[in-house]
Chains A and B, each alone.
Chain A
């Protein structure tokens, strides 16, 4: 039964209606996304779907008619697109700038539509809409056929793991309902989409504006004998094998109402579970069996993928949020490194080596992108070399995390293989990734346990090892002050070493330039070197401009709490530029040096440094004395 054959509700008595409702409660749900550009008529199609399935109410129609007169583009007719372009700015500009969600239902299914914009700059929004969709409707304008954007949309849909596609050849009315045009477009599409792994690909000719083949076939396309769009959406089988896959449940919350109850709450990602089934905590390898599946509606004999449950176990096992419960037979990978495909979603570009947060399943860990293997041109699918990823770019990368986590390849499991990347300072979601495979490298290089420790080395020297990190503009006086501090410490009999920015660039870092990406790598190497010297028990003086907060934070996190002393050598730009000891500011002003901090590259001052030195208020000697006093009062020099 299709929507057009629904019974007349007004004629049903209450008993019959109650039956009707009971049947409707059993509907399945299909989530799909629509992609296409402004001119493909995507918003018109969705408006038409809502209109034809009678989801529009009288007052909505009234406001639609009013809006059509004000902003509409189709003369006296109702402009369905206005119905779905929700934000004020979008209605004024006639474009769709964000993902919008729409709802409609027929007698067989309920639908959630992610309506996503199709311009190149909105790759990020399309990926967002696709992440929860089972199917994609890709719109093509019959007059223009397959365009670059069609290829882009199909690529992203495939990337996000969607296996069911409708190729909606819209505006067929504008090519005289031509079968030849339709056939040509379909043949071309099939040829380039062959490698995208679509299980079903259903081409449908239609006219969203006039309604042909949306809900009903219409009289103009008699040569087409396939289903209408709604008919296809109602009946297409998108069931994947989530139930047949191995059991996975990321633990969201430990449920402890009292001392006698300890349950683990979460949503089952894949598989089935019954009381008595053996389970393992993926990361620790601890095993137990399921005692009960506890829900508000009573204990259940079974639970399956998609259900939100609470499990109790037969044994006391240490489990917390972020752990993954799994079947013992097919466990997820556990590693601190993996390869992934990454979509960058922020205006600020991806910087390899910078410390970001990664959320995968219910686990949030810090980590970094260690390497960009290549980026993919979303229009031509060609692979390009890259040092960073910019907004809306897609790349294949290696990720290294601060601790091992459990994961599956995204192709096997969206819930345990998809992750987001969060910027630690702005807290914005800056990227979304899909795990390809774990990198064994990490699991095979084990830490070598050493008997002589950092503490024992430092004890011999009568000091507490630390990094004194001098940051500030070029010409601020960092190296001058660091040099004086080292001389003073040396005369006190302390063991020190200085890592100077300029000197390091002559050796260890001579392969690096001054782009943002290279600056991050520059700092990462220096920070790692400083960590080794701290491990050796030394007081390490690091004199680097280090303009970015996140890199200084990375350096801080490499050593133990209390071993990092951030010293902000605070000199106003005008003063540093007047000093200009190496003539660099002059060159930068003349455009001979690019990316010069303070001129055409930003400096982010520390928010809470251990020490802030105002170089306009005292001599270098005074300031160095101030630092030594700090080290004495804070027990670095015993």
Chain B
């Protein structure tokens, strides 16, 4: 067998595994944020590879806003069970008690309370000193400048102008008590890389990524799936069955579907290559204000 230069996917895979192992070796109490989406599925698969035949030496953490698609929650529990991993599910009970929903308080307040605050509370409560996230640099402009090891203060804040230089494969894992590092092993992957890898590795993903007949309402040009009876219908609004799928998954009232016939992975990838709209436009939270992601990240959002 002759030696060949590694393909771009093999190089990305090796880089991610290297990063994941560095974290396991250098931190006392790491955790992997598991959002149930396709990127999380790839990240988890890489973690399984990194430590084989051992299990990943850290738990999974899911911040449950209580508004996730039901299929996501089912998939989450099945995955943790299938792989035999510890899963921590954390919900901001104060937010639930105060009745914070995407409808009553707007997407900005809702995201702040049920996602950002909840995440910070969970990280503080368990004392995690490192947290893996599945974000990629090609998603958004401020992400393009974020380090793979992204330092957070005791209040979980990100300071984009004061990032540690990151050279070669040498990651600086030093933190003081209470401080932490967010780690992004998929930094250098693109959306296409993710799909190609899911295809070649046969990684299970939530069925919502594949086209099927589903009940939706059309709101301001976005197709919102009626996942349960908690979605308040506007006057004259009736759910209709459309053949749809999702490019990205989050809270169902905030996630736009696309009409599609793509029911297999190659069809999804082809559709993506032909698509003229970028991934995050399916998420309402980016549209609130200019540079909104940079602002959210400074406040502690992943």
Interchain CB contact (< 8 A) of B145 among A17, A98, A131: A98
Measured in the bound complex, the distance between the Cα atoms of B170 and A252 in whole Å is 12
In angstroms, how far is the closest chain B Cβ from the Cβ of A17?
5
CB within 8 Å for A14 and B267 given contacts A25-B200, A29-B11, A252-B25:
yes
A427 engages B54 (CB within 8 Å) = no
CB within 8 Å for A295 and B49 given contacts A21-B269, A27-B7, A87-B160:
yes
User: Which of chain A's residues have a CB closer than 8 A to the CB of B196?
Assistant: 21, 24-25
In angstroms, how far is the closest chain A Cβ from the Cβ of B192?
7
B53 engages A252 (CB within 8 Å) = no
User: Which of chain B's residues have a CB closer than 8 A to the CB of A125?
Assistant: 165
Query: Which of B14-22, B73-81, B111-119, B233-241 has 4 or more CB atoms under 8 Å from chain A?
Result: B14-22
CB within 8 Å for A257 and B53 given contacts A26-B7, A267-B169:
yes
A86 engages B11 (CB within 8 Å) = no
Query: Which of B33-41, B86-94, B171-179 has 4 or more CB atoms under 8 Å from chain A?
Result: B171-179
User: Which of chain B's residues have a CB closer than 8 A to the CB of A388?
Assistant: none
B188 engages A58 (CB within 8 Å) = no
CB within 8 Å for A86 and B176 given contacts A27-B7, A345-B165:
no
Task: Kindly report which residue of chain B lies nearest to residue A265, judged by CB atoms.
Answer: B21
Measured in the bound complex, the distance between the Cα atoms of B278 and A263 in whole Å is 42
- Binary A-proximity of B153-181 (CB < 8 A = 1, otherwise 0): 00000001101111111101011100000
Interchain CB contact (< 8 A) of B172 among A21, A132, A296, A359: A359
A418 engages B14 (CB within 8 Å) = no
A87 engages B145 (CB within 8 Å) = yes
Contacts of A407-422 to chain B: CB distance below 8 A: 414-415, 418-420, 422
For residue A89, CB closer than 8 A to chain B, the reply is: yes
A252 engages B22 (CB within 8 Å) = yes
User: Which of chain A's residues have a CB closer than 8 A to the CB of B188?
Assistant: 101, 103, 112
- Binary A-proximity of B252-292 (CB < 8 A = 1, otherwise 0): 00000000000010110110011111100100000000110
Measured in the bound complex, the distance between the Cα atoms of B17 and A296 in whole Å is 12
B14 engages A307 (CB within 8 Å) = yes
User: Which of chain B's residues have a CB closer than 8 A to the CB of A419?
Assistant: 170
User: Which of chain A's residues have a CB closer than 8 A to the CB of B142?
Assistant: 86-88
Contacts of A257-294 to chain B: CB distance below 8 A: 257, 261, 263, 265-267, 272, 294
Measured in the bound complex, the distance between the Cα atoms of B278 and A60 in whole Å is 7
User: Which of chain A's residues have a CB closer than 8 A to the CB of B168?
Assistant: 131-132, 414-415, 418, 420
In angstroms, how far is the closest chain A Cβ from the Cβ of B111?
19
User: Which of chain B's residues have a CB closer than 8 A to the CB of A58?
Assistant: 276-277
In angstroms, how far is the closest chain A Cβ from the Cβ of B151?
9
User: Which of chain A's residues have a CB closer than 8 A to the CB of B8?
Assistant: 27-29, 109-110
User: Which of chain B's residues have a CB closer than 8 A to the CB of A296?
Assistant: 48-49, 52
A86 engages B161 (CB within 8 Å) = no
For residue A147, CB closer than 8 A to chain B, the reply is: no
User: Which of chain A's residues have a CB closer than 8 A to the CB of B170?
Assistant: 359-360, 418-420
A103 engages B190 (CB within 8 Å) = yes
For residue B28, CB closer than 8 A to chain A, the reply is: no
User: Which of chain A's residues have a CB closer than 8 A to the CB of B160?
Assistant: 87, 98
In angstroms, how far is the closest chain B Cβ from the Cβ of A393?
14
User: Which of chain B's residues have a CB closer than 8 A to the CB of A9?
Assistant: 270, 273-274
In angstroms, how far is the closest chain A Cβ from the Cβ of B59?
17
CB within 8 Å for A429 and B161 given contacts A17-B270, A252-B25, A357-B174:
no
Measured in the bound complex, the distance between the Cα atoms of B10 and A113 in whole Å is 18
B3 engages A243 (CB within 8 Å) = yes
For residue B9, CB closer than 8 A to chain A, the reply is: yes
Contacts of A61-103 to chain B: CB distance below 8 A: 84, 86-89, 91, 97-103
A310 engages B52 (CB within 8 Å) = yes
For residue B55, CB closer than 8 A to chain A, the reply is: yes
Interchain CB contact (< 8 A) of B144 among A12, A102, A252, A418: A102
- Binary A-proximity of B176-197 (CB < 8 A = 1, otherwise 0): 1000000000011010110010
Interchain CB contact (< 8 A) of A127 among B10, B52, B144, B167: B167
Measured in the bound complex, the distance between the Cα atoms of B271 and A330 in whole Å is 51
Task: Kindly report which residue of chain B lies nearest to residue A18, judged by CB atoms.
Answer: B266
For residue A105, CB closer than 8 A to chain B, the reply is: yes
Interface centre among B54, B170, B281 (most CB of A within 10 A): B170
User: Which of chain B's residues have a CB closer than 8 A to the CB of A357?
Assistant: 174
Measured in the bound complex, the distance between the Cα atoms of B113 and A99 in whole Å is 32
B270 engages A304 (CB within 8 Å) = no
User: Which of chain B's residues have a CB closer than 8 A to the CB of A100?
Assistant: 144-145
Measured in the bound complex, the distance between the Cα atoms of B5 and A287 in whole Å is 29
B270 engages A12 (CB within 8 Å) = yes
User: Which of chain B's residues have a CB closer than 8 A to the CB of A497?
Assistant: none
User: Which of chain A's residues have a CB closer than 8 A to the CB of B166?
Assistant: 128, 429
Measured in the bound complex, the distance between the Cα atoms of B302 and A629 in whole Å is 54
In angstroms, how far is the closest chain A Cβ from the Cβ of B12?
8
B277 engages A57 (CB within 8 Å) = yes
A25 engages B7 (CB within 8 Å) = yes
For residue B138, CB closer than 8 A to chain A, the reply is: yes
In angstroms, how far is the closest chain B Cβ from the Cβ of A369?
17
Interchain CB contact (< 8 A) of B52 among A252, A272, A295, A415: A295
For residue B64, CB closer than 8 A to chain A, the reply is: no
Measured in the bound complex, the distance between the Cα atoms of B196 and A369 in whole Å is 47
For residue A432, CB closer than 8 A to chain B, the reply is: yes
Task: Kindly report which residue of chain B lies nearest to residue A102, judged by CB atoms.
Answer: B144
A267 engages B165 (CB within 8 Å) = no
B278 engages A57 (CB within 8 Å) = yes
A308 engages B18 (CB within 8 Å) = yes
B54 engages A256 (CB within 8 Å) = yes
For residue B96, CB closer than 8 A to chain A, the reply is: no
A87 engages B25 (CB within 8 Å) = no
- Binary B-proximity of A5-19 (CB < 8 A = 1, otherwise 0): 000011010100110
B167 engages A432 (CB within 8 Å) = yes
B199 engages A21 (CB within 8 Å) = yes
In angstroms, how far is the closest chain A Cβ from the Cβ of B3?
5
In angstroms, how far is the closest chain A Cβ from the Cβ of B222?
13
Task: Kindly report which residue of chain B lies nearest to residue A86, judged by CB atoms.
Answer: B141
A308 engages B21 (CB within 8 Å) = yes
In angstroms, how far is the closest chain B Cβ from the Cβ of A176?
35
Task: Kindly report which residue of chain B lies nearest to residue A269, judged by CB atoms.
Answer: B169
Task: Kindly report which residue of chain A lies nearest to residue B16, judged by CB atoms.
Answer: A308
For residue B152, CB closer than 8 A to chain A, the reply is: no
A57 engages B275 (CB within 8 Å) = yes
For residue A519, CB closer than 8 A to chain B, the reply is: no
User: Which of chain A's residues have a CB closer than 8 A to the CB of B143?
Assistant: 86
B24 engages A253 (CB within 8 Å) = yes
- Binary B-proximity of A280-323 (CB < 8 A = 1, otherwise 0): 00000000000000111100011010111010000000000100
- Binary A-proximity of B99-118 (CB < 8 A = 1, otherwise 0): 00000000000000000000
Task: Kindly report which residue of chain A lies nearest to residue B298, judged by CB atoms.
Answer: A88
Task: Kindly report which residue of chain A lies nearest to residue B26, judged by CB atoms.
Answer: A364
A306 engages B11 (CB within 8 Å) = yes
Task: Kindly report which residue of chain A lies nearest to residue B12, judged by CB atoms.
Answer: A29
A103 engages B138 (CB within 8 Å) = yes
Task: Kindly report which residue of chain B lies nearest to residue A252, judged by CB atoms.
Answer: B21
- Binary B-proximity of A579-603 (CB < 8 A = 1, otherwise 0): 0000000000000000000000000
User: Which of chain A's residues have a CB closer than 8 A to the CB of B25?
Assistant: 252-253, 321, 362
User: Which of chain B's residues have a CB closer than 8 A to the CB of A304?
Assistant: 3, 6
Measured in the bound complex, the distance between the Cα atoms of B277 and A360 in whole Å is 43
Interchain CB contact (< 8 A) of B276 among A18, A57, A302: A57
Measured in the bound complex, the distance between the Cα atoms of B138 and A24 in whole Å is 19
Interchain CB contact (< 8 A) of A308 among B1, B7, B50, B190: B50
Task: Kindly report which residue of chain A lies nearest to residue B6, judged by CB atoms.
Answer: A306
A418 engages B167 (CB within 8 Å) = yes
For residue B294, CB closer than 8 A to chain A, the reply is: yes
For residue A124, CB closer than 8 A to chain B, the reply is: yes
Measured in the bound complex, the distance between the Cα atoms of B84 and A2 in whole Å is 46
CB within 8 Å for A59 and B54 given contacts A87-B142, A103-B190:
no
Q: List 17 A-B contacts (CB under 8 A).
A: A21-B199, A86-B145, A88-B290, A109-B8, A110-B190, A110-B193, A112-B188, A128-B167, A252-B21, A266-B21, A267-B17, A304-B3, A307-B6, A308-B50, A357-B174, A420-B165, A420-B167
The 3 A-B residue pairs with the shortest CB-CB distance in the complex, in nearest-first order: A86-B141, A29-B8, A57-B278
